[in-house]
Amino acid sequence: MSLDAIRIRVLTWLAVASLTALAAFPASAAERTYPASPRADGSTAVARARVAADVLMSSYDPNKAWFPSSWWNSAVALQTIGDYMQRTGDRRYLGQLDNTFEKDKGVFPAGVLSGDPLLGNFTSRAIDDSEWWALTWVEAYDLTGNPKYLDMAATIANYVYGYWDTRTCGGGVWWNAERTYKNAITNGLWIRLTAELHNRIPGDTQWLARSSAAWAWFEHSGMINANGLVNDGLTGACTNNGQNVWTYNQGLAIGAGLELWRATRDPQILTSVKHLADAAIAPNALVTNGILTESCDATDQTCDDNAKQFKGIFMRYWTDLVDTTHDPRYATFLEQQAQSVWNNDRDAAGRLGTRWFGITGNDHPNVFDWRTQASALSALIGDVPTETPWASLAATMSPAQPVIMPPASGNASIAADLAVSATGFFPLQVRAAIDAPSGWSASPSATMLRLQPHGIANPVSTTTPLTITVPSSAADGHHMVTANVSAAGLYFTTQADVLIAHKIDFDTGTADETPWLFDPDGSQSNGVQNRFADGTAHFTYRLPFPPDTTSAQVTLTIDNEFLVQVSNDDTNWTTVLQVSQPVTDGSNKADRTIDLTPYLGTASNGARPVYVKVSDAFPNDGWGGRVYHVTANIVQ
């Protein structure tokens, strides 16, 4: 676009903004209510994706340069952030991509970044893991134009080519270095990667030949069943093994064909891609009530850490399908996923869960972690128009303490921060209006903020403090504090979730645990009502006892190699429980009670907090403290 065209577009935007400016400053509470639109406009879609991307990147570990506890998932999460930057123009996270490239390209023993030894250049015995990293570096090349990323992708691809084998099943790449399995994901990745390399290397013929051969083999391998769905892999006899149709296998098959079609413009390839796409959204396939659904999304199941990211991979390539074909059926499906994620599968902290239809339960809760965040983010990214909107407005609100335990009489106060961010090319006067529950109050209830955006590559932001006053009569349960922000025809709504509780009694690994979990660190929950911390990981609960508390006890149902410490400031810790001998089978599971009275903090901000931290007493063997239930007795 020429500079003159840019100027004309900006001036037009300014004119429209001036005509709609009055709408940015509603006068009454009724006018401050913005009903959810059935379809997000482009600016809102950008804002939603930005909020979700920032939540995801809050889990990125800059020292190890990955997302904790998972090697291939980290590659996918970083590629998702690359997708976000490509789609929105936001370039704030380029440094994290390069940080990972430079820090993690070497040789690492097993257990440092992956359960497998890493052989250097992001390769390992897991061939599909290596391919995920190659695709991430192609993404980095597309974003920056730096040839080191494309060179790394080609280096990885050359390593993978060593596992292309025509002697077994007539072709295909082996899943692992032991050559035990040929499956859909490894070969879908291979076709996409080789086609991407061809489409970026001038004069290439080698990668195109490899991609074309792999596509021809894949189509006739038998992994695509009679319904057009991709089963997991092949048997030893080179027939379809009938294993699960995971969404990411279907998505990679679509994405592989699309990239090869761009290389060849062979109409038959695009026909095959559409057949795979139509099969995916056909009745009794991969969709439940219009929403993409993994088999493990059933309410009596829990997806493991791998499957948590499968749907996002499907949506990455479904977005490519929409952009390529402009088929309204495919576009409508994409929009349905984004809307359901935002409206049904998002908590007040902006976290996105594994079930995009949002259903949860105590036995098999809707899990929220960085893997589910990366996956659902892909749906929000796809909802952003290909021509990036010139302005956007987003907001988040975070309470300093998400749990309030009211005193016997009087009020309690919550400190909160309202953060507002924007992109664009002209100053914004942003009005923020805060709505608290009945009987509560917010100070200030309305405020004006000024932002000076300077393009779309680096969103600008500002934060304003809020004080929320809660009466002692507030009922137990979750209460929402809502902030509506508006400026020049742009609107965004955010909420803070405050839990009022007169007692402490929750199962770990469930939605009930979340408000109390102050610092999950590298701990994990396997979806069966427990939380554990192995090695150097830990997890910390903040118990904000009422300011008039005179004594308190906490009881943990706990087992394995636990080390429990308490603190009233999250800095100075006292050990209160510790096993003396290694236990790896849960045989020491019991209720253990700790007197917290000596550790009650000085009353401030309406609480006398105590922090309870659980870690691993024997960090070298991987069987750290595991907690099932937390309850407390309080005397006021």
The third-level CATH classification (topology) of the domain covering 392-500 is Immunoglobulin-like (2.60.40)
433, 25 in Cβ contact below 8 A? Answer: no
pLDDT score for 416? 93
Give the model's pLDDT for residue 39. Answer: 58
At residue 527, the pLDDT reads: 58
- The pTM score is 0.88
For the chain, give every residue range classified as CATH 2.60.40.3880. Answer: 392-500
Q: Which residues pair with 474 in a beta bridge?
A: none
Mean of pLDDT values over 65-94: 96
What's the pLDDT at 1?
A: 41
- DSSP characters for 331-363? HHHHHHHHHHHHHHSB-TT--BBS-TT----SS
Distance CA 263, CA 153 (A): 18
User: SS3 for 316?
Assistant: helix
**Quick check: 272 and 335 in contact, CB under 8 A?**
no
* Residues 471-526: tens digit of each pLDDT: 888 999 999 999 999 999 999 999 999 999 999 999 998 878 989 999 988 788 86
pLDDT (average), residues 268-294: 97
pLDDT at position 606: 75
Q: Rounded to an integer, what distance in angstroms lies between the CA atom of residue 185 and that of residue 233?
A: 8
- Of 13, 63, 26, the residue nearest 445 (C-alpha): 26
pLDDT > 90 in the chain, percent: 82
What does each C-alpha distance from 494 to 343, 474, 623 come to in angstroms? 12, 22, 40
Find, among 557, 602, 490, 555, the residue nearest to 50 by Cα. Answer: 490
CATH code at 505-635: 2.60.120.260
* pLDDT given at position 35: 38
pLDDT grade for 585, boundaries at 50, 70 and 90: very high
Q: What is residue 70's three-state secondary structure?
A: coil
pLDDT band at 25, cuts 50/70/90? very low
**Cβ neighbours of residue 107 closer than 8 Å, sequence gap 6 or more:** 117, 118, 119, 120
What is the pLDDT at residue 375?
98
Nearest 10 degrees: CA dihedral of 376, 382, 388, 389?
A: -70
Give the span between the Cα atoms of 593 and 324, in whole angstroms: 61
pLDDT score, position 604: 76
What is the average per-residue pLDDT within 244-268?
98
Looking at residue 299, the DSSP 8-state letter turns out to be T
| pLDDT at residue 28, as a whole number | 28
Q: How confident is the model at residue 24 (pLDDT cuts 50, 70, 90)?
A: very low
Confidence at 17, pLDDT banded by 50, 70, 90: very low
**CB-based contacts of 119: which residues, under 8 Å, 6+ apart?**
107
Report percent pLDDT > 70 for the chain: 93
Residue 200 pLDDT exceeds 60:
yes
Neighbours of 439 (CB within 10 A): 12
Reply yes or no on whether the pLDDT at 414 is more than 90. Answer: no
What is the pLDDT of the chain when averaged over all its residues? 91
> What is the per-residue pLDDT across 121-154, written as a single tens digit (0 to 9) for each?
999 999 999 999 999 999 999 999 999 999 999 9
172-189 residue pLDDT tens: 999 999 999 999 999 999
Q: Where in the chain is the domain with CATH 2.60.120.260?
A: 505-635
What does the pLDDT read at residue 385? 97
pLDDT at position 528 is 65
- Look at residue 12 and tell me whether its pLDDT is greater than 60: no
Q: Is the pLDDT confidence value at 90 over 90?
A: yes
Q: Is 49 exposed, middle or buried, given 0-12, 13-18 or 19+ CB atoms closer than 10 A?
A: buried
What tens digit of pLDDT does each residue of 519-532 get?
A: 988 788 865 689 99
pLDDT band at 22 (very low <50, low <70, confident <90, very high): very low
What integer pLDDT is reported at residue 363 of this predicted model? Answer: 78
pLDDT of 81 over the 60 cut: yes
User: Are 392 and 423 a contacting pair, CB within 8 Å?
Assistant: yes
